[in-house]
Amino acid sequence: MSGDDTLAPTTPVESGADEPDRLVLHARDVRFDWSELDLHWIPGEPFATHVINVLHLLLPEGERWFVEVFKQAVPHITDDELRGQVLGFIGQEAVHAEAHAGVLDHMDAHGLDPRPYVEQIAWMFRVVLGDRDLSGDREFAWLRTRLAVIAGIEHYTAVLGQWVLDARKLDEVGTDPTMLDLLRWHGAEEVEHRAVAHDLYAHLDGGYPRRALAMGVAAFALAALWVRGVRFLVANDPYLRGRIGGRRPRASWAVRDGRRGLIPRLGRLARAIPEYLRRRYHPSHYGSTSQAVAYLAVSPAARAADAAGREATEREAAGGEGAQ
Amino acid sequence: MKNTPHWNADGWERGGGRTAHSAESYAAPRPPVSLFGRGGHPDRFMLALERVAARIEPLTSRWRPGRRSPSPTGDLTVRVARVERPARDVAALTLVPARPGVALPRWQPGHHVDVVLGDGVVRQYSLCGDPRDRTAYRIAVRRIDGGTGSGLAHALAEGDVLTLRGPRNAFPFARADRYLFVAGGIGVTPVLPMVRAAHAADRPFRFVYTGRSRESMPFLDALPAPSRDADVTVRPDDEYGPPDAAELLAGLSPGTAVYVCGPAPLIDALRRRVPPGTPFFSERFSPPPVVDGRRFEVRLGRAGPVLPVPEDESALDVVLRARPETAYSCRQGFCGTCRVGLLSGEPHNRDRPTGGSPRGAGFALCVSRADEGTRLVLDL
């Protein structure tokens, strides 16, 4: 493979003076209470709600798979700083997965059983993208291919994370504040750790064809799964029974709600592919760490997690009597 | 269950019980059946994805890696160029590259370095100098009675050579319209460069510097001069009494970002009173120390080595020395990354998995323990 088929060095270009860098990543022990959540948590907008709800269907099993694949990669890492970032990433992803799984229980409680769809996603990640009974060089090559898939998906999660941090319209229309906090806490952590999967892939492989192919497949699958997810949710929503305002959902609604700012614009999602395929792509060129850390500093869930973690530390230090 | 903290106790579970959608519940997914139309048919789309993967795997297995990213420069070797005593029990060290002519890595206000103080003792100290100066780092260390790290740091003399790692950022300094900075004692070290940066950028700020007494507070001579946009208050306890969170936060206007570094009670008091929507930053805490631990043993696999876990260490600490590739993350028992299979033994589970996912048969190396003198056999 020629030298041109490689990635830019992992050191990001000089970022703006206001962009914090070299962040130590850590998981936050967030908890969310869904007992008061409406099924249509963007009021009066069941279509936009379900477009975003697809994330709750994809992410629990998707992020559990990220964790498994990354854990397999840890023994191959020879850079201590990167290992630290990867370990922080794993913890954040593990918490994300369980936070979204909690929303699935809430769907159950409203009579929308997400299991048939989520079980397909589980099959995709655990069987199709699982270990495939390989050994030796093929096992390691498949690991690198899967890391390339994750690096591609992580560009999307960073783009989506930045979108939700910016999505003022969701506040204006009265979106459920707890759900908005979940989405923005998650989005902020995705922006915060957006370079890790890319840097890990660059460390263990770095080849361009593998990463380009992985992004192509991942973007196609993600788009198809998203459309299927919306169809599934609208069809199984006990209040909608397949129809919104008497009509079956159509693609133009996604364009309309994107323009209104309720969901990401399709154009932005499409543009992510050529961005990612640039030879000099580095995740630090997209998204704002400053904005991400600023949100984490106001997020009710992240603030509560910090307070609880600190108080647990002090309680332990004070005598080990546990929660009182 | 005295002496056995269970973190699933009240106060942790804010809503939500156990999830029905745990990882375990999806452990053995059935082959995909169609979601739409009359059920029961194999899902053609999902099966097509499997065919794609079955082709991509052998194809990409022949692809060689590209040129790997350049190896990191690794640890930094520095020399102590100057030792100062800016306050009682405080040593300020100026560290320069051991090899002359080498520029130190860039840093920003809030960054820290890991300082290797010998014998496996590594401590994190905030950089408190000028970020534009690439020829030297500055750290300041308060001596704590009986503190291993601070004792070693205070024993350093000019000319000593040290290893650093980093710099890294656990206290990000983000752009805001205006700032409130609160520092307590030696907590001034990360805050001082932030104050200077806000001052240089002409952002209005208030800086309250608390401490026991003026003699114990370093860098009083290095604070920016007060002006209309730079409200600097030095507030020693022996002159004003202990700081009161409400007083520190008085007059806080919307859009102000609050940065605090100091003793834990000060941080907690402010965190509780900062209004929702006001950004609150404090340096993140280190993992809790092991308290009330008993000595037990772990065996790594049925035929593997037996390792003692001392009272004051976690099983994770011990396992990492033997198996440095072990994955872990939060070190507080909530993320589940370090959970491993337990082959035999009676564990004391102290983890509190997020989202109500059942613990399963896993043993969380970072927090869970066992009875004194007993042995756990881990699937490692």
Say what percent of chain B tops pLDDT 90: 67
Sketch the domain layout of chain B as residue ranges: 76-169, 178-282, 296-378
- The position carrying tokens 């009670």 is B265
Q: Supply the CATH classification number for the domain B178-282.
A: 3.40.50.80
Instruction: Indicate the pLDDT class of residue A278, thresholds 50, 70 and 90.
Output: very high
Question: What's the rounded mean pLDDT across residues B234-239?
Answer: 94
Interface test mutation site (partner B, options A13, A15, A77, A95, max chain B beta carbons within 10 A): A95
The answer to whether A23 contacts chain B (CB < 8 Å) is yes
Query: For residue B7, what pLDDT band results from cuts at 50, 70 and 90?
Result: very low
Nearest to B336 by CA among B347, B348, B328: B328
Q: In the predicted model, is pLDDT for residue A31 greater than 50? A: yes
In CATH terms, the fold of domain B296-378 is Ubiquitin-like (UB roll) (3.10.20)
What Cα–Cα distance (Å) separates residue B115 from each residue in B118, B149, B173, B328? 9, 9, 22, 22
Tell me how far apart the alpha carbons of residues A98 and A87 are, in angstroms, rounded to a whole number: 17
Q: What is the CA radius of gyration of chain B?
A: 26
Tell whether the model's pLDDT for residue B225 goes beyond 70: yes
Closest residue in chain B to residue A64, using alpha carbons only: B23
Q: Could you tell me if residue B336 is left (phi over 0), alpha (psi between -120 and 50 degrees) or otherwise beta?
A: left
- Rounded to 5°, the CA angle B203-B205-B210 comes to 150
Q: Which two tokens stand for residue B334?
A: 């909530």
The pLDDT value given to residue B13: 36
d(CA B150, CA B227): 36
- What b/e sequence results for B71-94 when a residue is b if at least 16 CB atoms lie within 10 Å of its CB, and e otherwise? eeeeebebbbbebeebbebbbbbb
The lowest-confidence range among A42-56, A169-183, B144-158 is B144-158
Contact A60 B21 (CB under 8 A): yes
Average pLDDT in chain A: 90
Alpha carbons B149 and B141: distance in angstroms, whole number: 9
The type of residue at A46 is: P
Rounded CA-CA distance B225/A147 in Å is 52
Kindly report the nearest CA distance between residue B72 and chain A, in angstroms: 7
Q: Which of A284, A70, A10 is nearest to B73 (CA)?
A: A10
- Mean confidence (pLDDT) of chain B: 87
Residues 6+ apart with CB under 8 A from B138: B92, B93, B94, B95, B127, B128, B129, B130
Give the domain ranges of chain A.
38-307
Tokens representing A298 are 């106001």
The pLDDT score that the predictor gives to residue B303 is 93
CB-nearest partner of A297 from B22, B279, B289: B279
Report the pLDDT averaged over residues B278-294: 80
Q: What is the pLDDT of residue A322?
A: 32
Of the listed ranges A48-57, B139-148, B178-187, the least confidently predicted one is: B139-148
State which H helix or E strand residue A276 sits in: helix A266-277
pLDDT recorded at residue B18:
62
Confidence grade of residue A319 (pLDDT, cut at 50, 70, 90): very low
Show residues of chain A in contact with B332, CB under 8 Å.
29, 309, 312
Quick: pLDDT tens for A53-74. 999 999 999 999 999 999 999 9
Bridge partners (DSSP) of residue B115 are B123, B164
> What residues pair up with A244 in beta bridges, in sequence order?
A247
CB contact under 8 A, A134 and B57: yes
B86 cis-preceded (ω within 30 degrees of 0): no
Size of interface A-B (CB pairs under 8 A): 316
B100-113 pLDDT, tens digit per residue, is 888 999 999 999 99
The confidence band for B254, taking pLDDT boundaries of 50, 70 and 90, is: confident
Indicate if ipTM > 0.95.
Answer: no
3-state secondary structure of B346: coil
Is residue B170 over pLDDT 80?
yes
Instruction: State the nearest Cα–Cα gap between A37 and chain B, in angstroms.
Output: 12
Closest Cα in chain B, distance from residue A294 (Å): 6
* For range B336-357, the mean pLDDT: 84
pLDDT of residue A4: 39
> Which one is predicted more confidently, B16 or A138?
A138
Say if the Cβ atoms of B66 and A1 lie within 8 Å: yes
Asked whether the beta carbons of residue B5 and residue A141 sit closer than 8 angstroms, the reply is no
Tokens 């783009």 belong to which residue? A159
Identify residue A5 by its one-letter amino acid code. D
Give, as one character, the DSSP assignment of residue B334.
S
Dihedral sign, Cα of residue A238, residue A243, residue A244, residue A246: negative
For B65, the closest of A3, A207, A303 (CB atoms) is A207
Structure tokens at A194: 């957006």
Residues B289-308 have pLDDT tens digits of: 787 889 999 999 999 999 99
CB atoms within 10 A of CB B15: 13
Flag whether pLDDT at B3 surpasses 90: no
The pLDDT, as a whole number, for residue A306 is 84
> Which run of H or E residues covers position A46?
helix A46-73
Report how far residue A113's alpha carbon sits from residue A235's, in angstroms, rounded to the nearest whole number.
Answer: 11
Chain B residues in contact with A104 by the CB 8 A cut-off are 19-21
Average pLDDT over residues B239-243: 92
pLDDT for res B125: 94
CB contact under 8 A, A31 and B14: yes
Q: Which residues of B220-242 are buried (b: 16+ CB within 10 A; e: fewer)?
A: eeebeeeeeebebeebbeeeeee
- CA neighbor of B29 nearest in space, from A190, A121, A205: A121
Q: Which of B209, B219, B211 is nearest to B128 (CA)?
A: B219
Angle, helix A289-296 to helix A136-166, in steps of 10 degrees: 70
Q: How many CA atoms lie within 13 A of A203 on its CB side?
A: 26
Nearest Cα neighbor of A80 from B168, B160, B256 is B168
The residues near A136 (Cβ < 8 Å, ≥ 6 apart) are none
Residues recorded for chain B? 380
Least Cα separation, residue A13 to chain B (angstroms): 12
- pLDDT of A42 higher than 80: yes
Q: B6 pLDDT band (50/70/90 cuts)?
A: very low
pLDDT at B355 over 90: no
Q: How far apart are CA A165 and CA A188, in angstroms?
A: 7
Cα B163 from Cα B113, distance rounded (Å):
10
Does residue A222 surpass a pLDDT of 80?
A: yes
* CATH T-level assignment (fold) for domain B76-169: Elongation Factor Tu (Ef-tu); domain 3 (2.40.30)
What is the pLDDT averaged over residues A21-32?
92
pLDDT-based confidence at residue B353 (cuts at 50, 70, 90): confident
- Is residue B95 pLDDT above 90, yes or no? yes
- The model's pLDDT over A132-166, given as tens digits with 9 standing for 90+, comes to 999 999 999 999 999 999 999 999 999 999 999 99
Q: Which of residues 86-145 of A touch B (CB under 8 A)?
A: 87-88, 90-92, 94-95, 97-99, 101-102, 104-105, 108, 114-120, 122-124, 126-129, 132, 134, 137-138, 141-142, 144-145
Q: State the nearest Cα–Cα gap between A263 and chain B, in angstroms.
A: 24
Residue of A22, A146, A149, A217 to mutate when probing chain B, most B C-beta within 10 A: A22
Distance from CA of A127 to the nearest CA of B (A): 8
Distance from CA of A255 to the nearest CA of B (A): 24
- Average pLDDT, integer, range A221-249: 96
